[in-house]
A and B are shown apart, each in its own frame.
Chain A
Amino acid sequence: MSISEACTIAPTIRLLDHDPQEDLDTLCEIAQQAWAFSPLVGIEPLDEYLWAGRTLHQPQSILLDATGLANFFGGESSMIDSILQWLNKQGYFGVAAMAHNLGSAWAIANYTARAETAEKLLEFWLQRAGQQQEATSNDSDVSNVSIGVALEATECESQSLLNGLSIEGLRIDQTTANSLRKLGVRTIGQLMQLPRSGLASRLGERLVKRLDSVCSNQTDSSESIPLLYSNPDFSVQFSFEIPTSCRATIEEVIRRLTDQLCKRLGQQGHGALRVASRLRLVQENEPDPEQTIGDTPSSGTPDVDTPCNDKSSNAQSAKEQKCPGGHGHCNSWLLSLGLYRATSEASHIVPLLLYQLDQQMGTRRACVSEISLEATLTGLLRWKQTDLFENDLQQHHTDLARLLDLLSCRVGRRNIVGAKLQTHPQPELACVWRPLTGNKKSNSSASHRKTSRKVDAKDNITSSLIAPLPSDPLRRPTRLLTPPQRITVNSESGESVPVAIVLDGYRHRVIQFAGPERIESGWWQGTSERRDYFRLETDRGAWLWIYRNLVSNDWYLHGVF
């Protein structure tokens, strides 16, 4: 929906700039976790052109190969419901469709019941925003809010379903879609009735291939899921003949895999920026008080093929046992690293992986059947001749890289951020945060869009007092509250400057003030913000930055100096 429509429905929403990289990163993270439902997971492959019906040229769907897996979930419907519940637990609203081939499933998921999907999505977001709780009177109504849309079609049903879908479901370009609409062809069913030879000659082979991908009578579809692990050169794995829970064995395997991976990276001149290691578990047991996870076998060097020597469970029975959820492999652990600089040094990556393994395992014990390791994002290694005398700046950079890698390992990649300033009138949008690790460094600097309103010389500069510039020291607070805290102010009648403010239950008398500094956002930037900012000193010695929203006439505390 449009911004204006969204603002009408939920006036308190926050508008943020779209970040395609963050969207892609999040999609990849979800796709990696979707491995719990299928071993073959991928992200929808894009063509060089923007698909008709889409506004963004970036992946928005996750593809899973569910061949032969529905029985483990109790049927296809149960499998789809499990996926939707899993997405909902992470705070997402999903649309899941299952069909006999990739093209049909994609078309059904994206173009079936779009109106219904939009309504359910709106309900979902309103419920999350808390607005629906006021409308409902009991818990049962809240639980009826949809968490997603589930669509399922057998081979016979999918054909009838596809016949009514829009032609945009074939992932064609806008030019071809316009041509078809001119010919009066609006649905896939209408398109199928046309002779194929004519389609190929007039509208191209690509349309025919896409039509073949959704046809039910085409059993040998040439389209397959592009797996998420798209670069096998930087992926290694090891499968245990007998699953093991020996900590030393697992660590040794990780070390050897890391050595192999780093060797491959170095041979191709690449360094890892993101590393992901997945440990497939067979069974996850409760902590055994008699045996801790840190126990090492009595022999000196741990053998990689050491069988599971768990006293509480038999290794053989562990393979045969089924997990409570009815799955063959019920769980997996994911160790992910984000690195500040591309590196191919195993000595740098191994300690970080083992640290994360320690955090994951803790006192739990589990049998690991397979360990895979992949560099999900790589960058070119930069080689530089060393100087005769060590440069302090280079050494600082090296030390900082190691520090940031270690910090991101524990705190999380997204919690180690750097700032980038933008020219934006709204203070909260004047600064953008970016994770420092796990990103490729871009050489090209993006030009800053000048979003500030042009100030006419004939405008409000009529007073003898000239307002200071935003770049003056002490013009902006050192701390900015997100979101701004609503406060109560006491002001004299007809005066815009408060005499006192009530903050956290205490009354603060205003001693000094400076303002207003009017900040307005442009109409093209979404919700219009019109604020008058004041810099106050209170009788308690605090310097505060407050503003009055000129639309709602409410006062807010936005910053502290």
Chain B
Amino acid sequence: MASTSFQASPQMDSEILDKKEVMSRLFQKIRTMETGGRQFGELTGVVSTGCDELDQELPEGGYVPGTMVEWLEPAAGCGGDYLVLMAARNAIAGGKYFIVVDSLHQFYPPAAVALGLPIDRIIVIRPKEEADAMWAIDQSLRCSAVGAVMARIDNLNELHARRFQLAAEAGGGLGLFIRPPQVRREPTWAEIQWLLEPPRSVLTPMEFAMQRASLRNNRGQSDKEQLFVSNARATRCFHLQSLRMRGGRSGSRWNVAVDMATGAITAERLNHVPSSSLRLASELAVPARSPASRTSPTTQSHLQSVRSASA
């Protein structure tokens, strides 16, 4: 069979555009089904994560009110609290309240105030029993005056998780939970689940020792004077991976940097999200405008027969 060269035509362009539109609508329908009937792109009051890059990654451009978000933190102090407070700051912007369920009595408000949360709209609940904590989270999420509820939850059974989900949907607030990384393999009711990881590139012991020696030599001051010395970067870095993203594509990894002076968050994508079946389908529906060498004869003849049939 002689191969023929492929040439685009206006009719074919309109067909391609139609198919693109069809694929887009199908994609939206799939997303609507995944998100339980929520119309894509029609939501208002979406809560920003505090980082523009992460907002663009999310299906709705931010956290959807009435849902839960989880951060899996490997150890205390890995940045989960900071991300929660940034989201909470945006969630209570409309005059709502921020509730912290703090069983350990460790929450420290000055840090939240420095990030922009108003002190008079921060309410801390200190339950003694775990059952009381779960009940308090449920009741707080159910209240429409609450914009965000923050809690550290180690064990969450399906009953409580489902109750939290229904309560959040009823109240319209955000459930912001920090959980241990062991729950990664468990099913989750959260809309979005993030995994926090320490940055991979760290100073080796030799580099660290050299840096300290450099600081010591550059002092030139009396030992009695306490100088503020630092080898810290201007930003605090950690890695963030999306484990679950309802209505979107999970698996992306980000290098998140927090400016130590201003508190601003920036993120840089580290990996390319593996192609999903939807993308492949869109590629097959729109054939590439390339010479015959790029496609097999079988595919070419098939395409020709499709075009002739549609004409």
Contacts and interface: CB of A to CB of B under 8 A. Distances in A.
Interface in B219-259: 221, 223, 225-233, 236, 238, 258
B124 A418 contact: yes
Contacts of A561: 77, 79, 81-82, 111, 236
B208 interface: yes
Contact of B146 (A403, A406, A416, A499): A403
Contacts of A559: 108
Interface string A496-524: 11010000000001111111111000000
B106 A481 contact: yes
Contacts of B258: 474
B119 A515 contact: no
Interface string B90-115: 00001111000000011111111111
B115 A462 contact: no
Interface in A370-423: 392-393, 395-400, 402-404, 406-407, 410-412, 415-421
A451 B148 CA distance: 34
Given A474-B82, A474-B263, A559-B108, A416 B125 contact: yes
A407 B197 contact: no
Interface of A, helix, strand, loop or mixed by DSSP: mixed
B76 to A, nearest CB: 5
A419 B124 contact: yes
A474 B105 CA distance: 20
A560 B77 contact: yes
Contacts of B216: 495
B257 to A, nearest CB: 12
Contact of B203 (A398, A467, A477, A511): A511
Nearest to A397: B145
Given A403-B143, A472-B261, A415 B126 contact: yes
Contacts of B127: 411, 415
A124 B225 CA distance: 45
B108 A431 contact: yes
A553 interface: no
Interface string A433-477: 100100000000000000000000000101101111011111111
Contacts of B107: 478-480
Nearest to A398: B145
Contacts of A419: 109, 119, 122, 124
A303 B252 CA distance: 67
A156 interface: no
B85 interface: yes
A479 B81 contact: yes
Interface stretch (B58-66, B128-136, B301-309): B128-136
B236 to A, nearest CB: 7
Most chain A beta-carbon contacts within 10 A, residue among B124, B230, B261: B230
B108 A479 contact: yes
A427 to B, nearest CB: 8
Contacts of A468: 260-261
B78 interface: yes
B117 to A, nearest CB: 11
A473 B115 contact: yes
B99 to A, nearest CB: 9
Given A512-B232, A539-B202, A542-B75, A478 B81 contact: yes
Contact of A460 (B94, B110, B115, B226): B226
A532 interface: yes
A430 interface: yes
Contacts of B199: 541
B180 interface: no
Most chain B beta-carbon contacts within 10 A, residue among A397, A416, A460: A416
Most chain B beta-carbon contacts within 10 A, residue among A407, A460, A466, A476: A407
A155 B307 CA distance: 118
Contact of B231 (A400, A407, A481, A512): A512
A461 to B, nearest CB: 9
Interface string B50-89: 0000000000000000000000001111110110010000
A327 to B, nearest CB: 31
A541 B263 contact: no
A421 B110 CA distance: 7
Given A474-B260, A478-B108, A479-B108, A407 B228 contact: no
B120 interface: yes
Given A417-B124, A474-B260, A513-B232, A544 B77 contact: yes
B179 to A, nearest CB: 16
B95 A396 contact: yes
A407 B109 contact: no
A535 interface: yes
Interface of A: 392-393, 395-400, 402-404, 406-407, 410-412, 415-421, 427, 430-431, 433, 436, 460, 462-463, 465-468, 470-482, 492, 494-497, 499, 509-518, 532, 535, 537, 539-544, 559-561
Given A399-B144, A474-B258, A478-B107, 13 more contacts: A396-B97, A407-B136, A411-B126, A415-B127, A416-B126, A419-B109, A431-B109, A465-B229, A470-B110, A476-B111, A478-B85, A515-B228, A540-B75
- 5 closest cross-chain pairs (CB), A and B: A541-B198, A473-B263, A542-B77, A514-B230, A478-B81
16 contacts: A399-B145, A411-B128, A411-B132, A419-B122, A421-B113, A472-B261, A474-B114, A478-B81, A478-B107, A479-B76, A479-B107, A511-B202, A511-B208, A512-B230, A517-B228, A539-B202
